[in-house]
Structures are given as structure tokens and as C-alpha cells.
Amino acid sequence: MITFNNTQFINIDELRSSIVYTALKGNISRNTYQTPIKVSNDSSSSPNLTNQISFTDKISGQNITLKISDENLNKLQSKFSSNDFSKDENGHLVLKGEAGDFVSGWFGDIAYQRGYLKADYNQDGFLNENERKETLSNYGSDVRYCIRKKDSNVVKITAKGVYSYEKGSTTKSNNSIENELNNTIQKDANMDGVLKLSELESIGQTISDIKKVVEKKEDTNPLAKTPSALDLPSPEELIEYLKKEKENQDKAEQILENNELEKALQQDYLAVNTVDISKLSKNQKEALKSQELRQNDDMLDLASSIKDNIKTNLSIDKRV
């Protein structure tokens, strides 16, 4: 089982500034959607959504009516001009201008880019668990990590970015377009039409999700060496390795030094023994002869010394 003791997390701030969802903006080519769009039903209705609003869907051209919370209505009215809000004959708010564009943009992201309309197979406005898995609401962190083989501790995790608009999640999707639109408007703190990871979850949740990603990778393939998981030596193993490398280097340098010395001596010997005596001057010949005599005398002295030592040792052996 892997552990996360003193794990170093790298690029977490950059990761949390990454964009996960983006509202539809600008000129959008319309796609005729014949079936009336249902954004909720009695099963998905939330009691805190008390304000009914309507706006035009930029994709289908249909007039969409749904409910939003008091908190979200206050955000809209604080952000946009009062001219962007009017009431119909029933006293319900109609959004237009920038306010209408903002809400319609997030509606388009949820309904089309995240695929809520397509996932709602029976078009009843309510998404059950299986239908929610078909929405493109899933997102997460792409990370690389290093594990120390000795104790299976994750020593470092590096965040590379986020992935988004993928299938498979029920925890990051909602049971209706209406509920998810309210959730999205609430999360869009600065109301800029993009949702960053930092707006969707706390840093604690980000760290927790990253750990789950690493655990899942290790559980599904615990023995494999993947590009994401690297074995690192312990500090003690690294120090021992460096010591041995230093010793091997010292030995290699000593061998090289001895080889160079032997080579030099061989060159000196050859230089002396390959002298052409016939080409030497009279003084050089006499100097060479004198050198040879001294070498002979040294050899005689050495031989005499060895002989005396042998006699001494023999005499001692006899006495013993």
C-alpha cells in the first residue's frame, strides 16, 4: 500500500488556475432542435429555486424557462444592467442583453458541450445515475509521480494539467440542467464565463483527488514500471552508491598513474639502451663508460650485501 508522507506537490497553483468548463460565447451556428427542451421535472426540482426566469437558447432558438436561487438572481442583478431584466405578463423575469447572454452561454455549455440533452434519453428533464454517467461532466488532474521503492512512499507529485468534458462521473454531474445551471452560476465567482479548477473545488479536494488518481494507477497495475511511477533510492542507498563510485574512481586514477609511470620508465630504458656508441664523442664515451663502471660497482656491492645476509641467516639457523 502506498503512502503520502511528506509528499512534495509541484505546480498545484498552476493546476488550480486551469480552465475546466467554458460558457458558449459569441456567434454560434444554430442547430435546429425540434423537441421542446425540458430542463427539470418534479423529481429533480429543488425547493431553494424560487425565481423563475426565461431567456433564449442560442443553439436551438427556443425560449427556455427555469428557476434559479435567490443567491444567483442577486448575483445577476448586481453584475448586469437593470435594462437586461424585464417581466412578462405573468410577472416572471425575462433576461436579455449581457445578462441573457451570460445565462444562455452557461446553459449552452451544460446542455450541449457537457451533453446533458443527449444523455437524457427519454427527454423527461431528469437524469438518473446511468444517464449522468453519459454526460461529459467529468474532469480531473493529469499528474506524474515518483515512488520510493523501499517503503512505497510517494515522494513527489507533479501536476501537468487538467482534463475535462469526459464521461463517467456521477459526482461531478447533476440530475437536471436546471440544477446544474444554478450550480455553475454559483461557482462562477467572478462571472467571466469560465470555471477554473479553483472555483469548482477547494485545494484540499484537489489534493485528495490527486492522491486517489495515484492510488488507482498503482492498484490497477502495481508491478508495472510506468512513465508515471519511478523508483527512487533512499538517502542512505544514494550515499553508499556515491562512496563506491568515489572508490572506483580513485582506483582507476591510481592504475592510470602507475601505467603512465611504467610507460615513462620503459621509454627511459629504451632511450639509454639504444644509444649508438659509435656516434658519441670521446668525452661522451668516457662519461658513459664511467657510468657503466659505477653501475657495475653498485651491482657488486648489492651482491656482496646479499651474500653477507645469507651467511648471517644461515649461521643463525644453525644456532637455533
Residue 194 pairs in a beta bridge with 22
pLDDT at 292: 53
Q: How confident is the model at residue 218 (pLDDT cuts 50, 70, 90)?
A: confident
Residues 123, 188, 144: CA angle, nearest 5 degrees: 95
The segment with the largest mean pLDDT, out of 55-59, 87-91, 225-229, 259-263, is 55-59
pLDDT at 178: 96
Q: Computed from CA positions of residues 147, 151, 155, 160, in that sequence, does the dihedral angle turn out positive or negative?
A: positive
Report the range of poorest mean pLDDT among 103-112, 115-124, 158-167, 294-303.
294-303
Q: CA–CA separation, 300 vs 67, rounded Å?
A: 120
Q: Computed from CA positions of residues 144, 149, 152, 153, in that sequence, does the dihedral angle turn out positive or negative?
A: negative
Higher pLDDT, 238 or 169: 169
Q: CA–CA separation, 84 vs 54, rounded Å?
A: 12
- Of all residues in the chain, what percent carry a pLDDT higher than 90? 53
Is the CB of residue 134 less than 8 Å from the CB of residue 98? no
The answer to whether residue 320 scores a pLDDT higher than 90 is: no
Higher pLDDT, 98 or 47: 98
| Mean pLDDT over the full length of the chain | 81
Report the range of poorest mean pLDDT among 21-25, 165-169, 213-217, 264-268.
264-268
For the stretch 126-164, pLDDT in tens is: 999 999 999 999 999 999 999 998 899 999 999 999 999
Rg (CA), the chain: 43
C-alpha torsion angle, residues 183, 167, 113, 92 (rounded to 10): -30
Please name the residue ranges forming H helices in the chain.
12-16, 70-79, 97-108, 116-119, 129-133, 177-187, 197-200, 203-220, 235-273, 282-319
Higher pLDDT, 76 or 269: 76
| Cell numbers describing residue 312 | 648471517
Mean pLDDT of 244-258: 76
pLDDT at 168: 87
Q: Write out 219-240 in H/E/C secondary structure.
A: HHCCCCCCCCCCEECCHHHHHH
pLDDT at 24: 92
- Of all residues in the chain, what percent carry a pLDDT higher than 70? 71
For the stretch 261-309, pLDDT in tens is: 556 555 654 455 555 556 656 665 565 565 555 555 555 455 555 555 5
Is the CB of residue 41 less than 8 Å from the CB of residue 176? yes
Burial class for 28, CB neighbours closer than 10 Å (0-12, 13-18, 19+):
middle
Q: CA–CA separation, 218 vs 69, rounded Å?
A: 42
Q: How confident is the model at residue 319 (pLDDT cuts 50, 70, 90)?
A: very low
The answer to whether residue 256 scores a pLDDT higher than 50 is: yes
pLDDT at 260: 63
